[in-house]
């Protein structure tokens, strides 16, 4: 099986590293519009060679590891692929991408979202085992061809991922709460502190808590602007509900209702009964 990866940043580069361990994949090539990324990917040995975008159509599997708006654009330039080609996107939103897939290649397309990543980006951010033991959500496989669905499931299984299946709308709402809202909060937290504190104080006093909560603020502005735009309604709902929760805690603190503050904190503790 010959694989082409469009986008050689964190997700695409890490995918290339992991795919090299799979015995039924013989060739891995990459394509990226950024010439620096192309050079870095080759230097790091992430892919066997770099190809132009039009050339990826000659490969059995095409992964789209690019920002979500770019995925939609790429799909409209892949309408002349071969009948059995599989296209798999790795975007963080699903509904608008699936709706935008040209009908002529809908059966070739598999909508996937690997629930993994770091705050870093670019080929230098690629790491081994980024996908191992992580969840991948596969959306609306009933619209994909049997061959393409089987190829995607086989690859993600070989990567050691836990596969989940759901509708695009269900995925996007979950992602708004679990992924997209935390990024929005992290950016806002970073901006709040930057607007109040000077650099010396931040460097001297920022401890583990602040560093952990602001870590996501390092994430790519280009990528996350696209995600926020595509999942706008779900994200706004998530932010509003977060604001409501924060206002409740704020009121308890303002009114010095410390027993209620304590109960609010304890309620939040319960999350890690699930996660830990």
Question: Following DSSP, what letter does each residue of 150-178 receive, concatenated?
Answer: HHHHHHHHHTTPEEEEE-HHHHHHHHIII
Annotated domain spans of the chain: 2-166, 171-275
d(CA 141, CA 171) in angstroms, rounded, equals: 13
Residue-level pLDDT at 14: 96
Sheet holding 27-31, edge to edge: 49-50, 27-31, 2-6, 61-64, 86-89, 109-115, 135-139, 162-166
Please name every residue paired with 62 in a beta bridge, in sequence order, or none if there are none. Answer: 4, 87
d(CA 67, CA 46) in angstroms, rounded, equals: 19
Half-sphere exposure of 215 (CA within 13 A, CB side): 10
Asked if residues 77 and 20 have their Cβ atoms less than 8 Å apart, the reply is no
Residue-level pLDDT at 196: 83
Host H or E run for residue 110: strand 109-115
Residue-level pLDDT at 254: 97
Helices 181-194 and 232-254, interaxial angle, to 10°? 50
Domains 2-166 and 171-275 share a fold: no
- Which CATH superfamily does the domain covering 2-166 fall into? NAD(P)-binding Rossmann-like Domain (3.40.50.720)
Residue 46 has what DSSP assignment?
Answer: -
**The CATH number of domain 171-275 is 3.70.10.10:** no
Residue-level pLDDT at 202: 78
Q: What is the pTM assigned to this prediction?
A: 0.88
Residue among 128, 97, 131 nearest 114 (CA): 131
Residue among 186, 210, 185 nearest 197 (CA): 210
Instruction: Please list the pLDDT of the chain residue by residue as tens digits (276 residues).
Output: 999 999 999 999 999 999 999 999 999 999 999 999 999 999 999 999 999 999 999 999 999 999 999 999 999 999 999 999 999 999 999 999 999 999 999 999 999 999 998 878 889 999 999 999 999 999 999 999 999 999 999 999 999 999 999 999 999 999 999 999 999 999 999 999 888 878 777 777 777 788 888 889 988 898 899 999 999 999 999 999 999 999 999 999 999 999 999 999 999 999 888 877
Residue-level pLDDT at 209: 81
């Amino acid at each position: 099986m010959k694989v082409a990866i469009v986008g050689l940043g964190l997700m695409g580069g890490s995918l290339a590293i992991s795919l090299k361990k799979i015995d039924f994949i013989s060739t891995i090539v990459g394509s990226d519009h950024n010439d620096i990324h192309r050079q870095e990917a080759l230097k790091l040995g992430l892919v066997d060679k770099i190809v132009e975008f039009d050339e990826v159509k000659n490969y059995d599997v095409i992964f789209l590891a690019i920002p979500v708006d770019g995925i939609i654009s790429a799909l409209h330039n892949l309408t002349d692929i071969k009948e059995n080609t599989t296209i798999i996107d790795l975007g963080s939103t699903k509904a608008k991408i699936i709706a935008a897939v040209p009908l002529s290649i809908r059966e070739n397309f598999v909508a996937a979202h690997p629930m993994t990543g770091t705050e870093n980006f670019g080929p230098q951010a690629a790491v081994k085992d980024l996908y191992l033991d992580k969840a991948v959500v596969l959306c609306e496989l009933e619209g994909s061809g049997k061959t393409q669905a089987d190829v995607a499931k086989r690859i993600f299984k070989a990567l050691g991922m836990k596969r989940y299946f759901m509708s695009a709308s269900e995925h996007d709402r979950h992602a708004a709460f679990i992924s997209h809202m935390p990024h929005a909060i992290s950016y806002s937290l970073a901006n709040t502190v930057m607007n109040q504190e000077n650099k010396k104080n931040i460097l001297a006093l920022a401890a583990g808590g602040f560093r952990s909560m602001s870590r996501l603020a390092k994430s790519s502005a280009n990528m996350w602007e696209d995600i926020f735009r595509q999942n706008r309604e779900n994200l706004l709902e998530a932010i509003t509900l977060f604001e409501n929760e924060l206002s409740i805690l704020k009121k308890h603190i303002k009114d010095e209702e410390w027993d209620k503050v304590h109960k609010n904190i304890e309620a939040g503790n319960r999350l890690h009964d699930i996660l830990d």
